[in-house]
Structure 1
Amino acid sequence: MQADFMALVFRMESGREVPVLTRFEGPVTVRLSGRVPPFAERDLDRLLARLRAEAGIDITRSDRPGAAITVEFVPRRALQAYAPTAACFVTPGVSSWRDYRGARRSGATDWTALTVRTRAAVFIPDDTGPQEVRDCLHEELAQGLGPLNDLYELPDSVFNDDNINGVLTGFDMLILRAIYAPELRSGMGPDAVAQRLPALFARLNPGGGSGPPEWRSPTPRAFAAALDGAISPRASGTERRGAALRATAIADSAGWTDARAGFAWFLRGRLDFGSRPEPALRALERADAIYAASPLTSGAHRAHVAMHLAAFALTQGQAAAAEAIAAAAMPAAAESRNAALLASLMMVRAEALRLQDRPAEAEAQRREAVAWARYGIGDEAAIRRRLGDIGALSPLGHGGAR
């Protein structure tokens, strides 16, 4: 935990070192701005309540200008002009999109130049679906408050670019509680912070977790770069598959059997799914075996793999197997509050039920899937496309959208 804390706080995703710990000193206010979706206020209020209760941060929502953190919804085209690969992002030293455009090349928006945090802004596209808005609020607001890094080796955290966890976990809340503990303060360097961490975590987490500590080697930049390439929306299919192959090779060479190895094999299976079904199946089964071995990855992580295993069974006409795999994964998807994944699993199960000539059950499951998808996916046209894509996996080849 202490090594994770130091890596999250004193290093950025780019690899740049952060010279001192920074946080907001005193009460923190958060304001919504721009074309705010109607569901954003509810999800923000729930998040702030958790931050107060679980992380001990004095944080409230405000409707007045001058809030410590502004969450502004901006046109997607405008955001992508400045950050083409980001779904959303947070930056220090500004309170509006206009401020950011004027200051982004100055030291005001450089996290490594701060000695204390006084202002920050989170920017989210104003056409984003409900679940993605919620996920952006969780990760970007948390990074605005504290950790600046993402680590592929963390199995139970939103501070991991695998995007398995969309909402702040118990681990994340403990990291934030430690950052805002009275033993620490803005301006402290790594050595001073490291000296205080053993006693600090002994106080905050006296049990030290439910089992023996899990040692994880740091993730080399080559592996992180390979995974980044495998999930990059700007890379071609061939480039993404090559990156996934490099990632699994690095994981095998290092002897990893943890979450990052599981994710590498999951990506390899997902990228091979449409063109190389048998290698895809083997990669997905390997990812599932890795995830199943740890209680930290046996839930939501396996549910993501199960979605693809169920879809594969559907393509083979194995309707009963597809239904069973999807149904078994649905509770984990619900527990992780991933409505998009839950909806997709339900869509696969509905198609499997239809193949088994159980039309009434299939229609009921399809309707429930669409209801969850309205939060998880949002856009009605995108929901219809997802139904159509899953329906097209069936040997009967129907589009599924109605």
Structure 2
Amino acid sequence: MKAFHAAARPAPERPNGQIATDFLDLVFELESGRSLPVLSRFEGPVSVRVVGARPQLLDAELDRLLARLREEAQIDISRVAGRQPASITLEVVPKRSLQALVPGAACFVAPNVSGWSEYRAKRNRPETDWTQLTTRRRMAVFIPGDVAPQEMRDCLHEEVAQALGPVNDLYRLSDSVFNDDNFHTVLTGFDMLILRAVYAPELHSGMSRETVAARLPEVLARLNPAGGTGTPTDRAPSPRAWKDAIETALAGGSPTSVRRAAATRAVDMARANGWHDTRLAFSLFALGRLNLGINSDLALAAFREAEAIYDSLPDTRLQAAHMGVQLAAHALSLGRGERAMAIVDKHLAAVQSAQNAALLATLLMIKAEALALLGRDAEAQLVRLDSLGWARYGFGSDDEVGARLMEIAAISPVNRS
């Protein structure tokens, strides 16, 4: 199994005015749409403990994450032994138990509790209501330990970050884990800037949105001088109807026909609103995925348009790679090995940088089959072996890795015949 090493992310390229608006929406709103009355954060050093049975890999991933938070977000955060009281308790819970209590959740964070049993006892009480929070003193992060290493790491990054600061997700963000599109899975430079701003000395727990907005220009000018003035700009929120359509399209429990119709509505609304940004592209991505094997022409057209949009934006190379994997697979299915390899090679660097092992393994598997299709068997075997190392991190068990390998191999016309 291969694994990534911690690496600092570049600072965001957007103006500080936009970042200030993003900060306010991330920090003062919940995903449900409810507003938070005040800024809440930890005041003073932050301690983290881990409880529950977990694989060794989790400790290494946590240490890398905390090192990044100290260096990039300038947060005074460190680990303590599992039996000691801590600001953040990271508890490893079997996936089945976690989803039995909170259906559909891969992982989550809860305020004012220090463990699973306490959360179960208090989950519907005022103590665990985010809107009642003024200063953060105890947070609990619950993640599954019986999933692929990448899924466990992804949960670790997003939920620890939310325990520290933002508790909202925004579809408009293209370079952040705080986005329900789930393209980014490790904390980005933008995320670290937001966290650093949350813990800036100019701010403190209990401040209102208006007070924070007044101080943000000074904070962001100091932390991100290349971004210019940090006066918040007006950014219209995404309409609730579009969000509802996207959420229905992504909901695994709904009939496929209902999800396809919802994806179509999302695309239509995005076009009607004149959007040519990540929201239209993501709507097209959802539409394409839901039409695979049903209407291949529509799916392919959706992926191509989405890739063109992502390619036209400055910080969406990873999103473009998710479209690329579909387009490369299509080229492979047509026996166009050179074309499939060109698409894969175009996206490898972005995927490697984003540390998405599952996507990296899939692209390399497609490249291996394309090489085999062209009769370059020795090269194909080397690339395939490389893909397996990443696949074990991205997909977990040997069964899952083998299934993905066979799925990609079945696309090639040589194997189909």
Matches within 5 A, 1:313-332: 313-332=331-350
Q: Which of 188, 194, 199 lines up with 2:218 in the alignment?
A: 199
Counterpart CA distance in 2 for 1:324 and 1:340 is 19
Does residue 187 (structure 1) correspond to residue 226 (structure 2)? The answer is: no
Instruction: Give the 3-state SS of the residue equivalent to 2:413 in structure 1.
Output: coil
The SS at the match of 1:73 is strand
- Aligned AA (2:385): R
Q: Where do 1:65-76 residues align within 5 Å?
A: 65-76=84-95
- Any residues of structure 2 matched to 1:2-401 within 5 Å, and which? 2-63=20-81, 64-208=83-227, 216-297=235-316, 299-397=317-415
Tell me the TM-score normalized by structure 1. 0.95
Whole-angstrom CA distance in 2 between matches of 1:153 and 1:295: 14
Give yes or no for contact 1:40–1:133 (8 Å, CA) kept in 2. Answer: yes
Distance 1:367 1:391 in 2: 14
C-alpha separation in 2, matches of 1:199 and 1:106: 38
* Structure 2 letter corresponding to 1:384: G
- Once residues 363 and 398 of structure 1 are traced to their aligned partners in structure 2, the CA distance between those partners, rounded to angstroms, is 19
Check whether the contact 2:89–2:115 (CA below 8 A) recurs between aligned residues: yes
- Output the CA distance in 1 between the equivalents of 2:146 and 2:87: 24
* 1:320-359: CA deviation from partner (whole Å, max 9, x where unpaired): 2112211221111101111110000001111111111221
Q: Report how many aligned residue pairs link the two structures.
A: 396
Letter matched to residue 260 of structure 1: R
Post-superposition offset of 1:398: 5.3
Unmatched segments (≥5 aa) in structure 1:
none
Moved more, 237-246 or 362-371: 237-246
Are 1:153 and 1:216, in contact at CA under 8 Å, matched by a contact in 2?
no
CA distance in 1, matches of 2:302, 2:234: 25
> In 2, Cα distance between the equivalents of 1:217 and 1:275?
35
* Residue 233 (structure 1) shift: 1.9
Question: In the TM superposition, what is the alpha-carbon distance from 1:206 to its structure 2 partner?
Answer: 1.4
Q: Secondary structure at the match of 2:78?
A: strand
Q: Describe the SS at the equivalent of 1:39.
A: helix
Alignment CA distance shift 1:398-1:122 (3 Å): farther
Most deviating of 313-322 and 106-115: 313-322
1:55-99: CA deviation from partner (whole Å, max 9, x where unpaired): 111000111431110111111111111111111111111111111
Is the 1:130–1:378 contact (alpha carbons within 8 Å) kept by the matching residues of 2? yes
Other-structure match for 2:15: none
Note the C-alpha offset of 1:200. 1.4
For residues 105-158 of structure 1, give each alpha carbon's deviation from its aligned partner in whole angstroms, at most 9, with x where no partner exists.
Answer: 111111111111111111111201111111111100000100010000001000
Query: Contact 1:388/1:398 (CA < 8 Å) preserved in 2?
Result: no
Separation (CA, whole Å) in 1 of partners of 2:234 and 2:398: 44
Q: Tell me by how many angstroms 1:214 deviates.
A: 9.5
